[in-house]
């Protein structure tokens, strides 16, 4: 995509929305509203407006990409260069272990790197659990078991257990 934008940079740099261009578009829209639908003039104006809009869209995308890249370059220049160093082997191993430890019974824990488990490994209740579709039967089994535990807790008067299972 970048090479495509660079190849058209010269042509696109001349496409600037000026006051005259806006007046021209508004004038064409006014004429369009006066002509009967389906006439050749209406079709020509719609096609011309469509081509002009596409050109503006390309300019906008090019400007957006350039602005974002400039923002990133400026931000990177203001940060210490030590933050952009190559990670040590031990750091890479620790990073990989983090994701290995996120594999749980029902799928994967998606909590961010370096954060502790806020739910004390009650993964079924955690919004960070990404359930593996292959584990659907296992999840149904866990739900049935939980319903049975709640029923047993209510029968035996274990109010704390009953509340904790909900």
pLDDT tens digit string along 82-95? 777 888 899 989 88
Q: What kind and span of H or E run contains 108?
A: strand 107-109
pLDDT tens by residue, 23-55: 677 677 666 666 555 555 555 555 555 555 555
pLDDT at site 120: 75
Nearest alpha carbon to residue 6 among 91, 65, 71, 52: 65
Whole-model pTM: value is 0.41
CA torsion angle 73 74 76 81 (round to 10): 110
Residues 6+ apart with CB under 8 A from 9: 62
pLDDT at site 80: 82
- Checking if the pLDDT of 105 tops 60, the result is yes
Residues 6+ apart with CB under 8 A from 117: 109, 111, 126
Lowest mean pLDDT among 1-5, 71-75, 76-80, 116-120: 1-5
């Amino acid at each position: 995509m970048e090479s495509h934008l660079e190849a058209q940079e010269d042509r696109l740099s001349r496409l600037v929305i000026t006051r005259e261009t806006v007046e021209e578009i508004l004038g064409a829209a006014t004429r369009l509203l006066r002509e009967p639908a389906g006439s050749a003039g209406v079709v020509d104006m719609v096609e011309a407006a469509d081509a002009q809009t596409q050109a503006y869209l390309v300019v906008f995308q090019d400007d957006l990409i350039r602005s974002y890249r400039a923002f990133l370059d400026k931000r990177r220049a203001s940060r210490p260069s030590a933050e952009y160093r190559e990670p040590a082997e031990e750091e890479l191993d620790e990073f990989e272990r983090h994701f290995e430890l996120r594999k749980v019974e029902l799928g994967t824990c998606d909590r961010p790197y370096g954060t502790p488990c806020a739910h004390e490994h009650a993964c079924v209740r955690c919004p960070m659990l990404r359930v593996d579709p292959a584990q659907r039967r296992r999840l149904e089994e866990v739900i049935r078991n939980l319903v049975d535990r709640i029923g047993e807790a209510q029968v035996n008067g274990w109010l704390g257990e009953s509340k904790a299972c909900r």
